[in-house]
């Protein structure tokens, strides 16, 4: 009955007013009321879908899901966008003990969205949108299978898309030193299914029985020819290696996930290696500075732990740049770094 009447022109005007206010971001609560006013004038699929967007922005997930259900019933297109918003809502709302756990709902709607051709599937692996609490061992498997069409037409391509999409975009300039490491918690663990893209991960699995843990750190730069990523390798701590520090590696890959160039740039590989400090500028010129440990006694007999260290001496820095092919090229120090 509601669909059969109403003032369509007035509803469109009110909907535009609500949309403009919501995009400005100055008063989302008022935009929600305007969206509802548009619906009262003439209910439409778009009005309910846009209302759901404003409700999601204000963390009113339960009501947003109800609005999405009406948008779906009224035939909103593309339907894949509705599926995405369902998944987003369930990923961020508290567990409600419903018929399906939230995690199962997230996987269900993610799979449907991708199968329906959702235009931005990489958003599903962005932790800002889908936090770790919504992801479990099945999440990435469902994501990869949905991307590959279920028939594993290009399993490596789907795996690569899932891998590179999880590195957070990071503004430059960036400096990674000890204060940075202490202030940035490592919690985004790289699963061992991605060992194709991290050669040392396979070595760690077999030589140390999976003792090393790898973490997503940063998306440094992305363009058509290559993508530059930064990941971290942190050994499991034990009594024999109390002073073990993480190692950060800069890697460039081609669009298919093949490694172009790679280099340890920050942290320390082991107790006998120098500590590295990494800095990179927006023009993709970067510097690696070594700090060599000076020991009180022969470390081979006295040990490499902090009690045997006198100081760390800075070594001459080495400067590079990432060129158009994705290779690392040695350079002279730019004036701003001298």
Q: Would you say the C-alpha torsion 315, 316, 322, 328 has a positive or negative sign? A: negative
CA-based Rg of the chain, rounded to a whole angstrom? 25
CA distance 3 to 71: 13
Closest by Cα among 233, 229, 219 to 186: 233
- Between the CA of residue 313 and those of 42, 176, 301, what are the distances in Å? 73, 18, 21
Is the same domain home to 61 and 157?
Answer: yes
Structure tokens at 294: 């000076």
Q: Report, as an integer, the average pLDDT of 85-94.
A: 92
Is the same domain home to 136 and 273?
Answer: no
Is the same domain home to 78 and 151?
Answer: yes
Residue 332 has pLDDT above 50, yes or no: yes
Last residue of a domain, one of 164, 190, 219: 164
User: Taking a C-beta distance cutoff of 8 angstroms, is the pair 229, 174 a contact?
Assistant: no
β-pairing verdict for 247-253 and 259-267: antiparallel
Instruction: Answer yes or no: pTM beyond 0.85.
Output: no
CA distance 254 to 181: 28
In a domain, 327, yes or no: yes
Q: What pLDDT, in 10s, does the model give residues 180-193?
A: 998 988 878 888 88
Percent of the chain having pLDDT more than 90?
51
Q: 């929600």: which residue's tokens?
A: 32
Is the same domain home to 221 and 92?
Answer: no
Which are the contacts of 1, defined by CB distance < 8 A and separation ≥ 6? none
Number of domains in the chain: 2
Is the same domain home to 234 and 112?
Answer: no
In a domain, 321, yes or no: yes
Helices (H), ranges, the chain = 8-24, 28-41, 45-57, 61-73, 79-92, 102-115, 137-147, 155-164, 178-183, 199-207, 299-302
- Between the CA of residue 184 and those of 141, 150, 161, 217, 306, what are the distances in Å? 28, 37, 25, 10, 22
Is the same domain home to 71 and 157?
Answer: yes
In a domain, 137, yes or no: yes
The predicted structure's pLDDT at residue 208: 43
Number of Cβ within 10 Å of residue 26's Cβ equals 9
CA distance 189 to 199: 16
Is the same domain home to 117 and 181?
Answer: no
Question: CA 27, 28, 30, 36: dihedral to nearest 10 degrees?
Answer: 160
| Residue 19: CATH number of its domain | 1.25.40.10
Last residue of a domain, one of 103, 138, 164: 164
**Residues of 52-91 as b/e, b for ≥16 C-beta within 10 angstroms?**
bbbbbeeebbeebbebbebbbeeebeebbbbbbbbbbbbb
In a domain, 1, yes or no: no
Is the same domain home to 148 and 254?
Answer: no
Q: What pLDDT, in 10s, does the model give residues 30-67?
A: 999 999 999 999 999 999 999 999 999 999 999 999 99
Which has the higher per-residue pLDDT, 122 or 211? 122
Closest by Cα among 148, 159, 152 to 191: 159
CA distance 22 to 57: 10
Last residue of a domain, one of 164, 188, 209: 164
Q: Is 303 left (phi over 0), alpha (psi -120 to 50) or beta?
A: left
In a domain, 2, yes or no: no
Q: What pLDDT, in 10s, does the model give residues 253-263?
A: 999 999 999 99
Mean pLDDT, rounded, of the chain? 84
Closest by Cα among 23, 114, 18, 127 to 67: 18
Q: Of 57-71, 111-125, 127-141, 194-208, which one has max mean pLDDT?
A: 57-71
Is the same domain home to 53 and 79?
Answer: yes
In a domain, 3, yes or no: no
Residue 296 has pLDDT above 70, yes or no: no
Q: What pLDDT, in 10s, does the model give residues 124-159?
A: 888 778 887 666 668 888 888 888 775 444 555 678
User: Taking a C-beta distance cutoff of 8 angstroms, is the pair 315, 274 a contact?
Assistant: yes
Closest by Cα among 171, 204, 324, 309 to 254: 324
CA distance 263 to 280: 13
User: Taking a C-beta distance cutoff of 8 angstroms, is the pair 296, 303 a contact?
Assistant: no
Q: What pLDDT, in 10s, does the model give residues 10-24?
A: 999 999 999 999 988
CA distance 82 to 76: 8
In a domain, 132, yes or no: yes
The predicted structure's pLDDT at residue 210: 46
Is the same domain home to 159 and 192?
Answer: no
Q: Which domain covers residue 36, as residue numbers?
A: 8-164
Is the same domain home to 263 and 322?
Answer: yes
Question: Per-residue confidence at 243, pLDDT binned at 50, 70, 90?
Answer: low
Q: What pLDDT, in 10s, does the model give residues 276-290?
A: 999 999 999 999 999
Is the same domain home to 332 and 199?
Answer: yes
In a domain, 126, yes or no: yes
The predicted structure's pLDDT at residue 96: 65
Q: Of 132-146, 188-202, 206-220, 315-329, which one has max mean pLDDT?
A: 315-329
β-pairing verdict for 285-295 and 318-322: antiparallel
User: Taking a C-beta distance cutoff of 8 angstroms, is the pair 321, 285 a contact?
Assistant: yes
């Amino acid at each position: 009955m509601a669909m059969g009447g109403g003032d369509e022109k007035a509803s469109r005007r009110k909907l535009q007013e609500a949309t403009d206010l919501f995009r400005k971001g100055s008063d989302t609560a008022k935009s929600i009321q305007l969206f509802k006013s548009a619906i009262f004038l003439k209910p439409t699929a778009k009005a309910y879908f846009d209302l759901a967007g404003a409700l999601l922005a204000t963390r009113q997930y339960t009501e947003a899901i109800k609005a999405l259900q009406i948008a779906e019933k009224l035939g909103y297109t593309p339907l894949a966008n509705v599926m995405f918003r369902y998944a987003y809502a369930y990923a961020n709302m508290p567990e409600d003990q419903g018929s399906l756990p939230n995690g199962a709902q997230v996987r269900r709607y993610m799979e449907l969205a991708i199968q329906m051709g959702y235009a931005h599937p990489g958003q599903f692996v962005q932790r800002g949108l889908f936090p770790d609490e919504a992801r479990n061992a099945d999440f990435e498997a469902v994501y990869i299978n949905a991307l590959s069409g279920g028939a594993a037409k290009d399993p490596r391509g789907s795996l690569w898309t899932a891998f590179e999409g999880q590195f957070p975009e990071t503004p430059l300039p960036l400096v990674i030193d000890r204060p940075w490491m202490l202030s940035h918690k490592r919690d985004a663990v790289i699963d061992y299914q991605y060992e194709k893209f991290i050669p040392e991960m396979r070595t760690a699995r077999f030589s140390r029985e999976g003792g090393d843990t790898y973490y997503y750190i940063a998306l440094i730069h992305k363009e058509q020819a290559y993508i530059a990523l930064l990941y971290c390798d942190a050994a499991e701590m034990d009594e024999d290696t109390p002073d073990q520090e993480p190692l950060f590696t800069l890697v460039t890959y081609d669009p298919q996930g093949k490694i172009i160039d790679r280099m340890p740039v920050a942290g320390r590989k082991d107790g006998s290696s120098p500590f590295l400090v990494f800095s990179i500028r927006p023009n993709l010129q970067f510097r690696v500075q070594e700090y060599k440990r000076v020991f009180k006694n022969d470390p081979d007999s006295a040990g490499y732990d902090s009690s045997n260290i006198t100081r760390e001496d800075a070594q001459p820095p080495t400067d590079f740049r990432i060129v158009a092919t994705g290779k690392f090229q040695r350079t002279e120090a730019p004036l701003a770094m001298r």
